[in-house]
Amino acid sequence: MGKIQNLLDSAVSKTKEFIHQYKTEKSTQEKMSTKEILSYGLVEFGYGNMNTMVGNNYLQLFMMTVLTMQPMAWGIFLSVIKVIELVRDPIIALIIDNANTKKGRFKPYVMIAAPITAALSTLIFLNPFNGGWQMVAFLYFSYISWGIFASINGTAWGGLVPSLSRSNEERIKFFTLGGVVSALSGAIPGLIPVVFSLAPVLGLELRIVYPVLAVLFGGVGFISVLAVKNLQERIFFRRDPNAFRNAFKGMKAVFKNKYMMLLWMQKFSTLLTSLTWGVAFFVVIYNLGNIFWQTVIWLCSAPAVLFGAFTPRITKKITPRQFAVFFHLLNMAGYGALYFIGYASPWPLIILTFIMSFFGRVSLVCSNSISLAAHDYLEYKTGLRNEATTNMVSGLFDKGLGIINGLVLGIALTSIGFISGSENFQQKATKDWMWMFYTLLLAFGNLITAIPYMFFDLEKEKLKDITSELERRRAA
């Protein structure tokens, strides 16, 4: 009893200390306060919820099963959207990267764009048409409108995060918290298939259920994202006053960053994994036999919260790069084996998801840490730290590949005989092809992702020297 009492007393003492720190500790230019770190986690939770319905393949499921949009039409839609984004995103990034305000470079954009993004994410699911060009036109209008503000929102947030702290240890700390809340918010969408399964029993039309869920998640996301007001931008450098007039200057500097180029090589894996994620829901519905299994699969990410909390300890023993390589090679082996096991039972997939979710939480923190190290290297070599431009150029790779990916998905689903509509069942040959897309292509995609990490040597003493030099410049 004495040991238990001591543990309880210790827990109470630490809780009181934490509450005291939260209430009294103030952020400084050198250090993030407890409240600020928690606010970062809350914003991440907000984004996870705000994008739940438009992301996570729910929009694709809505259009192809409820509104019976054909696979080729959906693939063309995805490709057209990527073309628009190729034009839109550079303009947004250059404006954000070169426009200071009294309240910061990034935070004001998040505050403005977040509520509009949340509202438009609901509008997409209010499509009043049943087929025809009107249905497609409404989809294009609502999604393009949502995409503009989502891009402003995402670009600004992507620039704000690297500005929160210079310390790699502190970055690991708030990325770990972000990983924990991401796991929590990632488990919530797993409950949605339960709602879909119960809707017919309760006499509810999925046409109504989708927008109601979009309003719910959008509202929760918007409220959580407002915590961004507690974050402090720590500007480590002066902006180049001529950068906006000479936009290519910032882009040219980005392409000289050899470490960022290494990370961008990983993006070619999306040529394979786009088919994986394009059929993910359909594999659960048709191969496993019930969308309810998606809930079980997603809820497997919940225990990862516990393991993700150990990230700071893990990264003291091995580097983020080493762990990232290990994770992706393990993923490759797991999904390669899953292909040969087959889909007669859902449990092999569920067990693999459970195992990968533990390592995936840590890997996410590690990959974020690696990316920020590449940002530091750019500043070290050029004196520039144009996060928004760097993220925009990175996004151009994604969009360019996305144009191809959308068409490939549409052609692939059409070629294997996929039939749209929630009441339709797929042929065995169609299900076999989808299983191959879901497993083997994901395995090869993880191999492509792991290879660049093997050559990323920006760590240990080399990274410490760069960080020290940047601190010296700042002090000067």
CATH, residue 199 = 1.20.1250.20
Q: Give the count of domains, the chain.
A: 1
pLDDT number for residue 237: 46
Question: What is residue 438's predicted lDDT score, i.e. its pLDDT?
Answer: 93
10 Å Cβ neighbour count for 365?
Answer: 29
19 assigned to some structural domain: no
Q: Phi and psi dihedrals of 104, rounded to 5? A: 120, 170
Angle between helices 247-255 and 387-415 (to 10 degrees): 70
Residue type, 134: Q
Q: Would 404 be classed as within a structural domain?
A: yes
At 251, list the tokens: 């882009």
DSSP 64-118: IIIS---HHHHHHHHHHHHHHHHHHHHHHHHHHHT--BTTBSSHHHHHHHHHHHH
Q: Which residues of the chain have pLDDT under 50?
A: 236-238
Does any domain span residue 21? no
Rg over CA atoms, the chain: 23
Residue 167 burial (CB < 10 Å; 0-12/13-18/19+)?
middle
In this structure, is residue 15 part of a structural domain?
Answer: no
With respect to residue 432, please indicate whether it lies within any of the assigned structural domains: yes
Record the tokens describing residue 13, joined without a space: 């003492």
Structural domain boundaries enclosing 463: 32-235+246-475
Q: Please report whether residue 419 resides in a domain.
A: yes
d(C-alpha 447, C-alpha 433), whole Å: 21
pLDDT at site 447? 93
Cα(63)–Cα(136) distance, rounded to whole angstroms?
10
Q: Is 27 within the bounds of a domain?
A: no
Calpha distance 166→467 (Å, rounded): 8
DSSP 8-state symbol, 188: G
Six-digit token string for 95: 């404006």
Residue 383, CA distances (Å) to 160, 289, 328, 370 in order: 18, 56, 33, 19
Q: What is the structure's pLDDT at 44?
A: 79
204 CB-contact burial (10 Å; exposed 0-12 / middle 13-18 / buried 19+): middle
What is the spatial distance between Cα 97 and Cα 91, in angstroms, rounded to a whole number?
Answer: 10
List pLDDT tens digits, range 324-370: 899 999 999 999 999 999 999 989 988 888 888 878 877 877 887 88
pLDDT for 155 = 83
Does a structural domain hold residue 6? no
